[in-house]
Structure 1
């Protein structure tokens, strides 16, 4: 079963020659070069829907490193970068994938006040390196991971290792969980749109590794469903509320928020299995006029992000949410609300016995010198769901959260600080997986997973 916990890798030692190739490729991983690439990437704006400049830069960088690389346009502002290392043709093809778009723009007019009253210094494109960290907008997630993907393939290329299977580096646009940003015209700019376009246009692999947070090999992750709740009230005015009465939908929405917050833990407990513990949260509210708060709006909209297990379909999640709303209505018949599901991306899983999962666990154990243990209780979603939905067995692996040279530990939620030593650890794991996978005959790989 895809949700079965597998604590360590199935043994398959490297040959003496392969082990030598790993050592040789690891010697080509230059922390300074990796950090500088990460800094340059974090210095180029790439909010969802506007990744063209960064993708073109990365295509040029990979070409200069000896890849066969190109920019893949999606529209005038958005596109992917693709780089290829060819094999002899009798091995499997491995796709190393990472998105490159940032969740935030770094612009006060779009991000504030929701990221803070002003844009934090670390959330700008004035990226820098300090105490072994690269700091800047998206420096860790996603750009540190993308730098590791490129750095691993570059180390293998510089080492002159004879590959049987090809390596494809895919740097995708539109990976963040977002719909249309205010400044762009295309609605479907996020939610894995760049990844899906890349696959649709023939950029694929027999297996894939996606570099995203979590320093353990993951073979499954949650999907997500978004719901809009429309809470209805009466258009009114503060000056006469005591005379005409009526319901304030903002006040009723506050009651619904409290009730849903009580329901979310029950939902999580009901749907926890395997590696996932799906969470729910109310993360956006629409109501009223900020420039004329003398008037009571007739409607207040709430937006719910509900994560779903690979073993729970979006339709089943919708039914569970419907049960919760029905209970709220039963207990509070005075509330007037409507709701609908406005996004549905299924969770996905790859069999943990698959070659690529086992290879990545072997890589992790080779680097760390101890048995692999999977992370449980996860609720993050990535483009791994897109890769798997298109039929590609996919492993997810991130970098460790290491302290910098000043002994500072990053916050639990941080996308702007990328530790260079942690990047090197991930890059070493990726190098091992490339050599383990792409220097064997195709028949051996397919027989092994």
Structure 2
């Protein structure tokens, strides 16, 4: 996909003046303090009430009118509104509120022992750094959005449109069944309860503007054998391992996934997939090989491809595998699906966000890196909300405390990295909310 040059719509003299006033109010120390306090409130998916209550109080102090939506007794989402004079658009600054881990002992199979600073369910700070579970994603995003709102309100900018600040539970790509949370259920709840805007901006890692994001398809393959016994020879009739054939299936699946990505890449989306885990047997009964071994994985869904089509592609892979390996007994299911979402790249909010990016970066935006990360932005777009994704460099480098390799706890934030992103978001806010609706194509 080739990107056309950004449409240039210059600030008026009034907009330029107010933008500079508000930008001068952006305060990294204030942002860091909010980030530290919010990170210090543990908020795993399905248990965000304390963090939402803290943010509601903070938003009201800033000058936003707030309301909440409860998904359960321990799960809460919150939104705030700052109204303009009228005849303008509504613009939502959004980020999820929940962290991808709970840090229970059972989760060590995901995170390892997890002694690093970014994996702790409490905050630590050193100089301009904040560490703790989710300090970067999502809480660095919440703190940045909130600082943009605070600087704008302090400057007294004469907005025509309404500024919304929203944060919801259920934003992580998980399904916590005992808490009925995950897979974007929180943001959908807020949209259904008055938060629906004309435009939205989400903040996520990587220093580009994106107009679309993938969905997800979750699959489970069950390889079947018989329950065995360690004292029986391998060639005894009637005893079949499920574990050893599963190793063959894993290798076949690992070879299929990159081909799937190539076949389904378009726009700015390269929909990767990874095998997440293998489950079978019991550690308490190693003498009894398992009759079933489950393999489960997530493959991303391009917005121009439906989860049903992905399911059909996977069914074709399984049929081919069975034809080549008829001795392997298996069945499968797709147990989770979320479609992707896209916004017209010529939409006002995409072009406005790119103008802000170019204003701060001092160079044309151009073609961004391919994307595979899934966020609540896909749900916003699917619900018809034109949405721009604005990012910052990630992961942060040079941390003064030990941080986990790989994804870790998404919890190491160098606050100076967030400030250019705040300036870009502020630019799009001023650009959008100081204009009449007709200027925005509404």
Find the aligned partners of 2:53 and 2:2 in 1 and give their Cα distance.
Answer: 40
The answer to whether the aligner puts 1:33 opposite 2:27 as a matched pair is no
Q: Does 1:219 align with 2:211?
A: yes
Question: Among 59, 69, 79, which residue is 2:66 paired with?
Answer: 69
Shift of 1:118: 4.3
Distance 1:207 1:309 in 2: 22
SS of residue paired to 1:129: strand
Matched, 1:434 2:429: yes
Alignment partners' CA distance in 1, 2:281 and 2:17: 66
Q: How far off its partner does 1:440 sit?
A: 0.3
Give the 3-state SS of the residue equivalent to 2:323 in structure 1: helix
Counterparts of residues 419-430 of structure 1 (less than 5 Å): 419-430=414-425
Q: How far off is 1:243 after superposition?
A: 6.2
In the alignment, what sits opposite 2:126? 130
Question: Residue 370 of structure 2 is aligned with which of 351, 368, 377?
Answer: 377
Partner of 2:411: 416
Distance in 1 (CA, whole Å) between partners of 2:427 and 2:398 is 25
1:375-427 deviations in whole A, cap 9, x for unaligned?
23211110011101111011111222354587999966351111211111111
- Root mean square deviation of aligned Cα: 1.9
**Equivalence for 1:179:** 175
Instruction: State the 1:36 CA deviation.
Output: 1.0
What is the DSSP-based 3-state SS (H/G/I as helix, E as strand, rest coil) of the residue aligned with 1:422?
helix
What is the TM-score normalised by the length of structure 2?
0.95
Other-structure match for 2:116: 120
1:359 equivalent in alignment to 2:352: yes
Rounded Cα–Cα distance in structure 1 between residues aligned with 2:230 and 2:296 = 26
Secondary structure of 1:215 counterpart: coil
- 1:405 and 1:120 map into 2 onto residues whose CA distance is 11
Relative to structure 1, is the Cα distance of residues 428 and 46 closer, same or farther in structure 2, using a 3 angstrom cutoff? same
Q: Secondary structure at the match of 1:63?
A: helix
Q: Which residue of 1 aligns with 2:229?
A: 237
Matching residue of 2:200:
208
Range that drifts further, 233-242 or 110-119: 110-119
Q: In structure 1, what is the equivalent of residue 295 of structure 2?
A: 302
The one of 316, 320, 332 equivalent to 2:325 is 332
Write the deviation string for residues 96-140 of structure 1: whole angstroms up to 9, x where unpaired: 110010001133x23213211344332113312224221110000
The correspondence for 2:277, drawn from 273, 284, 302, is 284
**Inter-partner Cα distance in structure 2 for 1:41 and 1:30:** 17
Q: Assess if the C-alpha contact under 8 Å between 1:232 and 1:337 holds in 2.
A: yes
Q: Secondary structure at the match of 1:56?
A: helix
8 Å contact from structure 1 (residues 97, 211) kept in 2: yes
Could you say which residue in structure 2 is the equivalent of 1:228? 220
Structure 1 residues 184-195: aligned runs within 5 Å: 185-187=178-180, 189-195=181-187
Stretches of structure 2 that go unaligned for 5 or more consecutive residues are none
**In 2, Cα distance between equivalents of 1:113 and 1:153:** 39
Residue 268 (1) aligns with residue 261 (2): yes
Per-residue CA deviations over 1:185-227 (Å, capped at 9, x if unaligned) read 333x000010010011121110111111121100011111011
1:198 matched residue in structure 2:
190
Tell me the distance in 2 between the aligned counterparts of 1:354 and 1:393.
7
Counterpart contact for 1:44–1:54, Cα < 8 Å: yes
The answer for unaligned runs of 5 or more in structure 1 is none
Greater alpha carbon shift after TM alignment, 129-138 vs 317-326? 129-138
2:380 pairs with one of 387, 391, 395: 387
Conserved in 2, the CA contact under 8 Å of 1:216 and 1:373? Answer: no
Determine whether 1:150 maps to 2:146.
yes
| CA–CA distance in structure 1, aligned partners of residues 198 and 101 of structure 2 | 33
Which TM-score applies when normalising by structure 1?
0.94
| Partners of 2:251 and 2:339 in 1: CA distance | 27
Partners of 2:4 and 2:125 in 1: how far apart? 36
SS in 2 for 1:134: strand
* Preserved contact between residue 97 and residue 170 of structure 1 (Cα < 8 Å): yes
SS of equivalent residue, structure 1 residue 290: coil
User: Would you say 1:60 and 2:57 are equivalent positions?
Assistant: yes
